[in-house]
Amino acid sequence: NLIMKSAQTIGVLVPNVGNPFFSELIKGIQTIARENQFIPIIFSSNHDAELEKYYLEKLVERSVSGLIIASAAITAEVIDEILNPNNIKYLLIDENTVEAGDTVQTDDYHGGQLAAQHLIDLHHKKIAMIISDSLTNNLRRRLQGFEDVCIKNDIDLKTDIVKIASPMTKRGGYEAVTELVKHPEVTAVFTINDEMAVGVYRGLRERKIDIPNDLSVIGYDGIEWGEYFSPKLTTIRQPIIELGKKSAEVLLNRVNNPKVKTQTVNLPVELVARESTTQNT
Ligand code: RIB
């Protein structure tokens, strides 16, 4: 029956479909959706809260079976005013500022720890962190892990670490380099995601600063592109497709069994050491 089938949809809201992280995530979601005869409807909100709310309302109007929301603008209010009254099942993942319902996440805290430990193992002591200008819970955990390892290794967060906040995009990374180069003592940079590293690469190249000999760069995410950067990007890999798959599984399980008790999935991350980091001599 065609009408029944059309109801088998899940809405997916991501902040930036232009970032390969989110396209890989969607790949994972699609795979599981298809296996279960569900169709995902995908929206990219460009980090725009108004747009995000608009898409959300449209999705609810179309009575989707459930929502996967990887986007920061979902507030407790939106949940109370839009989702709960309409009894829409939802899963908040990745970039979010509220914790509610089921959880599917990667180990951001450990990822931050791994990034800091890698730079410290290479004897870096003066480090820049290029972070997002709007921090969500996952990013906060990532930074916490990074900073905790710094502190344990006698790196002073006030005097040894330069923190630069910028939009979490290629352009944001590129623009952060203007500030970065004001700190010549820095020998290594941690960018909070791989996309920002693309911009950092360009900013450094334009100033004839060599990666990794003048400056080591470590990203975060493990998008497929990292291997095609020159030099190949050292990063922390999140199992992105798996994150998408598990998210769809957990949401569909919730849709099919609304009474099931709160589900939690934690996925591991790993260091991928490539060419963009080297020893500080
Ligand atoms: O590149 C996208 C980034 O934003 C990832 O690190 C992901 O975890 C999200 O927070």
Domains of the chain: 2-106+240-267 (3.40.50.2300), 108-238 (3.40.50.2300)
Q: State percent of the chain over pLDDT 90.
A: 74
Q: State percent of the chain over pLDDT 70.
A: 96
pLDDT tens track for 111-162: 999 999 999 999 999 999 999 998 889 999 999 999 999 999 999 999 999 9
Find the 273 Cα to ligand 1 centroid distance in Å: 19
Kindly list the protein residues whose Cβ atom lies closer than 6 A to any atom of ligand 1.
19, 21, 94-95, 138-139, 193, 195, 220-221
Q: What is the ipTM of this complex?
A: 0.94
Find the 259 Cα to ligand 1 centroid distance in Å: 31
Q: What DSSP string runs through 155-206?
A: --TTTTEEEEEE-SSHHHHHHHHHHHTT-TT--EEEESSHHHHHHHHHHHHH
Q: 10 with 68: CB under 8 angstroms? A: yes
> What radius of gyration do the chain's Cα atoms show?
20
pLDDT tens track for 231-258: 999 999 999 999 999 999 999 999 999 9
Give the torsion sign (CA, 112, 118, 120, 126).
Answer: negative
User: Residue 240's pLDDT is what?
Assistant: 97
User: Residue 7's pLDDT is what?
Assistant: 64
Average pLDDT over residues 199-223: 98
